Structure 1
Amino acid sequence: MPSYFSLLFKQDFSDVKAAGTSWEKLSRKMHDAFDMHRTKVTGPLHANWEGDDAENALRFLEDIETRVQIVQTEAMAITKVIDTTRQRMEQAQKDLRAVVNDAEAQHFRIDDDGNVRLPKQWEEPQPDESDETRYERLNKEALLQDYQVAINRAVDDALRASGEGQKALAELDGEILDHKNKQMAAESARDVDKVMDRLGEKGPKIPDDPKGAAEWWKGLDADEQREYATLYPDRIGTTDGLPSDVRDDANRMRMEQELNALRRTDAYAVPGNDERRHNLETLKAELDKRDGAPENKQLYLLNHDAGGDGKAVIAMGNPDTADNVAVQVPGTSTTMDSTGGQLNRIGKLQDAAEHEDPGTTTSTVYWLGYDAPEAPLLEEANTEVAATQRAEDGAQPLRDFTHGLRASHEGERANLTVLGHSYGSTTVGAAASDGEGLDADNIVAVGSPGMTVDRADQLNTENVYFGQASDDGIGWAQGLSLGRGPTHPDWGGTRFETDTSGHSGYWDDNSRSLANQGRIIAGKPVEEYVPPSQRDNR
């Protein structure tokens, strides 16, 4: 039987490389199959099927999607193991061949088992050797030991790489066809984590700032991008500056993995898990409803957090390719349960903008990337809603997000508008007035209790707009603790005409309130507010 030395020295790794390529190709095909099944099969069915039979059929079809997604993930993990093991063994082979070539150039002899022998003239010591000859012999013997150690090290490195690869692959149990296993996605995600640990892989080193992250991503080749997105969805999905379609894929995978983990029997007893499971199920249901939507209405899940009241960042239309991008920051009492209503609002904003300029494309984003304060009950005081802390906590995440949109956008610079409603405008103000600002072309506030500043020109944006219904009760809060408030005569900015009622009517169909927001998003002039005392004189 050939020795490990001979096997490593002569090994041809082309078949191993081809195997890794085949597994990577399988992972890619599963990604495409999952996306096709979600958008062309279950997506339209979610929108059109109702009743018990429909629910049972969809449950079966989504189970197929889960298994396809697992194959995608685990095939990529296998690719990573094969490629990493091959590269480590190829390096060991390179080291081995270099040692052998150097030794043979010095006339040392190496047998098929990797044992090093002295050159022939030094094989047997002569009784009449001079001191100089004896000294040279000792040097040769020392060099022999160095060569032997280097050869043994190279062989050991190869064996270690092979053993670690074998143990890493053993972490994947391959039970995706077992219908009794109800926690497949969660188990698979944990298995892949174990695989990476076995390989000593720490994951991608992503720059902290959005611009740096965007440049890092663009510097990767296509294989590296697919690998990171598949194996590290938690890292890729939450990084501002990366492409929106990539983040969407990663976050949907992360959502499924988290949800399956929370559905485990042993997860029910953990405090907070019921709430997390509810939040993820709510988010998934809202996304599922719109999976078969037209291109401009397709949703991109750009971030989510199931903890507490829940957080979600969802784009309607791809913000990386749109001419106009609008980010809507909601206000008080917004939770994951608000997702459906908030998506309806950004849908109306998108329609309003595209109505104003049909020749352009618009992406609107629902940004609940902060912990919105709860509305106070009549019998309870709520200091959070009257303080700027929640807004200040959300300021940097909002800045990172808008700068990330700039970094990931393709082609000409988009017309970027950031809108805040109610306490959401307070968060927008805190984000825009500090640090590098939001890099927005327009800032819009509706129903604002204050934006943490005394003047519009402190928001680092030339175009600041606001609207407030005449009967919006939020007016009493302006100037108290969240800033002077946009309606103050010295605040500045441009007030646009509103014709809706109350604090939450700014998105009413066929309203001037909505149309004016659409004009701003589309880069068109607004209908400016005229005080009642001057309206008869127009």
Structure 2
Amino acid sequence: MATISQVRAWNPTAFATAATALEQKNRDFSDAVKAAHRSVDSALDHWKGETSAAASARALADSIAATHLTTAVFAEADALSEAASTLGSARATVIYIADSAIAEGMAVADDGRVSAPRYGSGSTALDILGQAAFDEKARSFEARLIPALHTAGSLDEDAAAALSKAAVDLADLAQRPGVQQAVSAGVAAILDGNGFPPTGAWEFNEFWESLSPSDKDALAAFDPGIGNRDGMPAADRDHFNRINLGNLQSSTSIELSDLDGKHPDWAQGRNIPSDVGSVEEADQQARRDYEQWQQRRGDLQQRLDGYGVLAERIDPALAKEGDSAKYLLGVDDKGRAIVALNNPDTATNVATFVPGTGSHLGTIGGDIDRSQAMLHAGQRALERAAIAGSTSVTTWYGYDAPQSIPQAGLDGYAEGGAGPLDRFQDGLRASHDGVPSHNTVIGHSYGSTVIGAAASGGGSLDADDLFFVGSPGVGMDRVEGLSLDGIDPEHVGGHVYATAAANDPVPMIGEVFGGLSHGANPANDLPLIGFG
């Protein structure tokens, strides 16, 4: 059984970190096994006879054994992640019960025993009745606290056992030839803090393509968010970001539990500081503390819910008939994400869809559906024109979008998204295989304002065409203010299109409010394109 002091000292995040490291080590092993079997398969293609058959049988046996071991270690990692998630809740429960008892004047021992204070009224009869009531309340607290400590202790023991077993397994793997491979000197320097990966998309792509699987896994263990690097091939971004999505879900859940544990009464809607009637500074400070706590909790809950929506939408087991393959090209601890339909590295036509006001991770499902509709429409157009080619459409939630109409009147959100969008377009070019694709960036509502910010003011987007849909303005009054890589400024107008529904009020903001908007309605200055 855990003690109260031990539980108070817990840091469940450490368990999540251990799970992340364990999963990465297991992937090192898995990749090494796959590489070994690729070598064996290649050799067997040119080797026949009884000896070859025996080697093939041995390779199959090793493959089966490796699969079992990999599955077992992943199961341990999953158990540790689950324990990490539940430890935060168990910790909050123990602390809430203990603190509640103390607030009632009870004495709480470290092992969970609760003693009532002495009742003294001067009347023997009243003292007996009062003491009985106090003792009953103490027993009630103790009856809840000791089982909570037992549960917390069991969870702690389970996590320790899982980590110990995983460590033994990994130590065994380390002793087996070929499983643990040394990293390159360049990667070793990065891991030691004496070097850095290249920052430019093209430079990073060249660097990444030169690495061995062990190098890549080592960098991913060092930087779990490495899948967000622009210039990394889409398949690798998806691989590492799917791993990181699980880590982010666990760490956010733990952070939310820890926050609830600091104020379990607030988490249960109790003892909320009043926002009216008091002029005492202490009361006002308590209310401010509560509002800050409430804001932080709301942000964490929204992010956690968003991660859940994202995980569901990219789960191949939940894909609907006709859905394209999904690549998770980005996900971070701020609740931003990037999802591509089909592989942009191999597609002939690559589109990036930038959503507008009100978009956050919890709404990404609807925009993925819009991207899917655009992809199908593009493919049908190619088929009707008898043009060979494939299409990829990316839903780009790579910036913090305004969440209200007043916020949408500010330039800061567009300015904040301009750099990441520019770098993402550079990355699409850098990682693309073969003949350069035809790249289009589509902005809906405030998303068009982000595109405008990225393609102006000294910036330039590496794209062939821009589409603005229902735009509140793109930061300028004339198309000549936009810049696209490799396109003569005099000809940019032939690569930029805009459309707006007749009853859409957003594009009219510039016409009605002038300087309060993000510029003129681009649909009045550009060729009108219908999406039917």
TM-score w.r.t. the length of structure 2 is 0.54
Decide whether aligned partners of structure 1 residues 65 and 398 sit closer, same or farther in structure 2, where only a CA change above 3 A counts.
farther
Count of paired positions:
322
**Alpha-carbon distance in structure 2 between the residues aligned to 1:435 and 1:446:** 23
Distance in 2 (CA, whole Å) between partners of 1:23 and 1:447 is: 45
Once the two structures are superposed, the pairs formed by residues 209-288 of structure 1 within 5 Å of their partners are 209-229=200-220, 231-232=221-222, 234-264=224-254, 265-266=257-258, 268-269=260-261, 271-272=296-297, 273-288=300-315
Corresponding residue SS for 1:478? helix
Q: CA deviation at 1:292?
A: 5.3
- Structure 1, residues 121-166: CA drift from partner, whole Å, max 9, x if none? xxxxxxxxxxxxxxxxxxxxxxxxxxxxxxxxxxxxxxxxxxxxxx
Residues 37-436 of structure 1 mapped to structure 2, 5 A cutoff? 67=74, 70=77, 173-175=163-165, 201-202=192-193, 205-229=196-220, 231-232=221-222, 234-264=224-254, 265-266=257-258, 268-269=260-261, 271-272=296-297, 273-288=300-315, 297-307=324-334, 310-358=335-383, 359-376=388-405, 382=406, 384-436=407-459
Unaligned runs of 5+ in 2: 1-24, 37-69, 81-159, 169-186, 263-295, 485-491
Determine the C-alpha separation between the residues in 1 that align with 2:324 and 2:26: 35
Equivalent residue, structure 1, for 2:529: 496
Structure 2: distance between partners of 1:362 and 1:249: 21
| Inter-CA distance 291–227: structure 2 relative to 1 (3 Å threshold) | farther
Which ranges in structure 1 are unaligned for 5 or more consecutive residues? 1-20, 33-62, 74-169, 179-195, 377-381, 498-512, 515-538
- Greater Rg by CA: 1
Do the aligned residues in 2 keep the contact of 1:296 with 1:317 (CA within 8 Å)? Answer: no
User: Alpha-carbon deviation of 1:414?
Assistant: 0.4
1:363 partner letter: S
Q: 1:276 to 1:338 in 2, by over 3 A?
A: closer
Match of 2:107 in 1: none
In the alignment, the residues of structure 2 paired with residue 30 and residue 337 of structure 1 have an alpha-carbon distance, to the nearest angstrom, of 36
Find the counterpart in structure 2 of residue 471 from structure 1: 503
User: How many angstroms does 1:213 deviate by?
Assistant: 1.1
Alpha-carbon distance in structure 2 between the residues aligned to 1:320 and 1:212: 17
Query: Which of 453, 456, 460 lines up with 2:483 in the alignment?
Result: 460
TM-aligned CA deviation for residue 239 of structure 1:
0.6
Q: CA contact under 8 A between 2:76 and 2:162: conserved in structure 1?
A: no
Q: What code does the residue aligned with 2:216 have?
A: Q
Going from structure 1 to structure 2, the CA distance change for 1:282 and 1:343 (only over 3 Å counts) comes to same
Question: Partners of 1:471 and 1:295 in 2: how far apart?
Answer: 32
Structure 1 residues 25 and 173, CA, compared in 2 at 3 Å: closer, same or farther? closer
Q: CA deviation at 1:427?
A: 0.5
Aligned to 2:93: none
The structure-2 alpha-carbon separation of the partners of 1:67 and 1:24, relative to structure 1 and needing over 3 Å to count, comes to closer
User: What does residue 523 of structure 2 align with?
Assistant: 487
User: Are 1:419 and 1:444, in contact at CA under 8 Å, matched by a contact in 2?
Assistant: yes
> Aligned in 2, Cα 1:31/1:219: closer, same or farther, shift over 3 Å?
closer
C-alpha spacing 1:316/1:267, structure 2 compared with 1 (3 Å): farther
Q: CA deviation at 1:334?
A: 0.6
CA contact 1:353–1:362 (8 Å) conserved in 2: yes
Residues 11-64 of structure 1 show CA distances to partners (whole Å, capped at 9, x for unaligned) of: xxxxxxxxxx999443555999xxxxxxxxxxxxxxxxxxxxxxxxxxxxxx97
- Give the letter for the 1:277 counterpart: L
The 2-side partners of 1:30 and 1:280 are apart by 30
Equivalents in 2 of 1:69, 1:245: separation in Å? Answer: 26
Q: CA deviation at 1:280?
A: 1.5
Distance, in Å, in 1 between the alignment partners of 2:412 and 2:470 is 19
Q: Helix, strand or coil: the match of 1:418?
A: strand
Take 1:268 and 1:211, find their aligned partners in 2: how far apart are those partners?
Answer: 44
Structure 1 residue 221: deviation in Å?
3.2
CA RMSD of aligned residues (A): 3.7
Query: Contact 1:303–1:312 at 8 Å: present in 2 too?
Result: yes
1:434–1:482 Cα change, 3 Å? same
Q: Give 1 or 2: higher helix fraction.
A: 2
AA paired with 1:342? D
Give the direction of change, closer, same or farther, for the CA distance of 1:24–1:486 in structure 2 (3 Å limit). closer
| C-alpha distance in structure 2 between counterparts of 1:288 and 1:274, whole Å | 21
SS at match of 1:247: helix
Which secondary structure does the structure 2 equivalent of 1:419 belong to? strand
Does the Cα contact within 8 Å between 1:279 and 1:306 map onto a contact in 2?
A: no
- How many angstroms does 1:448 deviate by? 0.6
Structure 1 residue 294: Cα displacement: 8.0
In structure 2, relative to structure 1, the CA distance for the partners of 1:260 and 1:421 (3 Å cut) is: same
Residue 522 of structure 2 aligns with an amino acid whose one-letter code is P
Deviation at 1:483, TM superposition (A): 1.1
| Whole-Å separation in 2 of the counterparts to 1:221 and 1:397 | 28
Tell me, in whole angstroms, the C-alpha distance in 2 between the residues paired with 1:172 and 1:202. Answer: 31
Cα distance in 2 for partners of 1:290, 1:429 equals 38
> In 2, distance between residues paired with 1:23 and 1:311?
25
Query: What amino acid does structure 2 have at the position aligned with 1:388?
Result: D
- Using the alignment, how far apart are the partners of 1:22 and 1:331 within structure 2? 40
| Change in 2 beyond 3 A, CA 1:22/1:367 | closer
- Per the TM alignment, residue 254 of structure 1 is displaced from its structure 2 partner at its CA by 0.8
Is residue 443 of structure 1 aligned with residue 472 of structure 2? no
Q: CA deviation at 1:404?
A: 0.7
Moved more, 366-375 or 260-269: 260-269
User: How many Å apart are 1:282 and its aligned residue?
Assistant: 2.1
Give the 3 Å change call, closer, same or farther, for CA 471–68 of structure 1 in structure 2.
same
| CA distance in structure 1 between the partners assigned to 2:453 and 2:237 by the alignment | 26
Counterpart-to-counterpart distance in 1, 2:310 and 2:214: 30
Mapped partners of 1:282, 1:412: distance in 2:
35
1:27-46 equivalence runs, <5 A:
27-28=31-32
TM-score, normalised to structure 1, is 0.54
